[in-house]
Structure 1
């Protein structure tokens, strides 16, 4: 029999958002985070409604199978309540929420998960991500189409394939029953943490000797220090002895505030349905139907975008290379209209071009070698020839040579 030794829940609006659409619940047996979406109008409402409904099942279970069925049923009931709310308040159409929940039952932990919020387990110093994101890019990674590193910068990295909301009557929810041991540290979070703070940093915070509350606060602060473009919610649960005393469950985020609905907007034409989304400063996070056809369509769209990007970059490279070549040709042709008087084999000579090289390419060549010995010139003229005398044309260079020859008389 294992017990919750300590737990803590912290939620913050972040540095960019105007309202907190995250919710979290810290109970005696049940812990979960819910990340709402649907824009300013419905994200906070969705996570709050789901939190209040799911929190109703925070009580002790002796059978993990019964606990798993109850927890999954609570998420389905929350999904139904969201659909009913949208039916009564059309301005909330398209709202939804992720949920990642864990329930302690004896020496087992029951997990229920949908969306891209996450559950982590730190055991014996080793951190593992327990849940799998229900996102478009995660499917690409699972299918071997892209790497985990490519997923971090993929243009559709925030597209959700599954959420609770008013889209599906029976959404698919991942459930599992895992063993837990004294000394385990569980952490639940919204993507406001996992999207900003690296896996290695999360490990370092969770592996510290600090208790659950300061660790949760430090994790939230790490997200804020990283810019916190989204709301961030963290729940830390420590397993061990002595067991924490039973207290009323604590809600954080939007669920902690009174539920309020916006004034309905004018009715939209029938048949128009908004897609749930959770806007980010740089890109939007939104929900898309979980279907094979749509998934294949997104993959093909991504391939088309990649091909277009290659074509555009190829065209720019060709234009850039062409411009460089054209500039070189024009520049070289200009240098060949120039002349200068210098020395060659100890004699005065006329060169075509300029006295520079472009890497291995010489920009000048010997045009005419005279019979005038440089050593026979006056000291001043010798220095001028050795340093070269520029001319705008061959005729001007010839006149310079004639003056040098006349100075010998």
Structure 2
């Protein structure tokens, strides 16, 4: 029998957002995270409505299939409730929410998941991401078009392909039944954590020998330390003995506050506005796009056009840079050819055009004229000066230097 030894839920608005569109729930058997979308108008409402409805499935079930059916029905019912709310409040059109829910039953768990919130499992020191993001960039990763690292900074990383809301009457939800055992630590989170904190850092904090509440607090703090450009919500569930004492369910985020629509919601939301002197990460509004092959192909084509434009722009910049370097070299070389110096050539005094230095294999000087003055006939001081070269600002000045050397022989 899998017992919930301890659980915790923590949610934070982050450092940039004006209101918290995340919701979290930690109950007796059911745990979930919902991340609302729809901008300032309805993301918080969507996650709150979904959380309140799905929380009604927090109960005991005679079998894992029964638990899975109940959880699936809870998400479907939440989707209908969101659509009904939009019909009654048109200002909320387009709102939706992700949901990642975990129901502990017997020696296993039932997971239902839609969107880009995530479920992780720490078992025997190894951390695994259990859910797969329903996002455009995840499709690109699965298709081998980009890497997971590139997905983190992709311009379409906020495009969701599946959500609950008024966008689809029957959205496809991933549901799975998995085993669990004492010592397992489950973690559910919104992308405010997974999009900021590295997998290795999540593993380190999840592996710490501390309670569920401390782990959740540390994960949220890590997101805040990383700039927290989005709301961040974390739910941690520890499996083991003894079972956790009976406590009231914990609700965090937007679901913890009374629902408010339209103008009535603005005063409450505006109190949450916080200004920051800098924005450490670009904030992108999550939005839904239809999960169809045709539309996916259109996005791929658009992405390819963007990549080609970016390649062309980089090519133009490289050409301009090379042109600037060539122009600078040409101007520099022309300047060197306005200079002269007096030096040695075959044991005699000679006049050179340019400067004595070379630029790698490129010579910056050439012999202009050779005189009849032997270096050996010069005074020791003049010999040293000629051998080291005597700079001249012009050809006339170089000629005057040669005449002075010639006069010194008399």
TM over 0.5: yes
Q: CA deviation at 1:131?
A: 0.3
Say how many residue pairs are matched. 395
Q: CA deviation at 1:380?
A: 4.3
Q: CA deviation at 1:264?
A: 8.8
Which range is displaced more, 137-146 or 112-121? Answer: 137-146
2:172 alignment partner, SS class: coil
Q: Is the 8 A contact 2:343 2:386 kept in 1?
A: yes
Q: Does 1:144 align with 2:154?
A: no
1:284 alignment partner, SS class: coil
Question: Which residue number in structure 2 is paired with residue 74 of structure 1?
Answer: 74
2:61 alignment partner, SS class: coil
State the Cα deviation string for residues 335-363 of structure 1 (Å, max 9, x = none).
22322111233321111111111122110
Q: CA deviation at 1:69?
A: 1.0
Q: CA deviation at 1:388?
A: 2.3
Q: Is the 8 A contact 1:9 1:216 kept in 2?
A: yes
Question: Which residue number in structure 2 is paired with residue 377 of structure 1?
Answer: 378
Question: Which residue number in structure 2 is paired with residue 88 of structure 1?
Answer: 88
Q: CA deviation at 1:383?
A: 4.0
Distance, in Å, in 2 between the alignment partners of 1:231 and 1:72 is: 26
Task: Output the aligned Cα RMSD.
Answer: 1.6
1:45 alignment partner, SS class: helix
Q: CA deviation at 1:366?
A: 2.0
Q: CA deviation at 1:401?
A: 1.3
Question: Which residue number in structure 2 is paired with residue 313 of structure 1?
Answer: 314
TM-score normalised by the chain length of structure 2: 0.93
Distance, in Å, in 1 between the alignment partners of 2:238 and 2:99 is: 20
Distance, in Å, in 2 between the alignment partners of 1:289 and 1:308 is: 25
Where does 1:158-197 land on structure 2 (aligned, <5 Å)? 158-197=158-197
Question: Which residue number in structure 1 is paired with residue 269 of structure 2?
Answer: none
Which range is displaced more, 211-220 or 316-325? Answer: 316-325
1:53 alignment partner, SS class: helix
Q: Does 1:367 align with 2:368?
A: yes
Q: CA deviation at 1:15?
A: 1.2
Q: CA deviation at 1:289?
A: 1.2
Which range is displaced more, 115-124 or 380-389? Answer: 380-389
1:157 alignment partner, SS class: coil
Segments ≥4 residues shifted beyond 4 Å: none
1:133 alignment partner, SS class: coil
Question: Which residue number in structure 2 is paired with residue 340 of structure 1?
Answer: 341
Distance, in Å, in 1 between the alignment partners of 2:284 and 2:262 is: 25
Question: Which residue number in structure 2 is paired with residue 153 of structure 1?
Answer: 153
Q: CA deviation at 1:223?
A: 0.9
Distance, in Å, in 1 between the alignment partners of 2:219 and 2:316 is: 45
Question: Which residue number in structure 1 is paired with residue 245 of structure 2?
Answer: 245
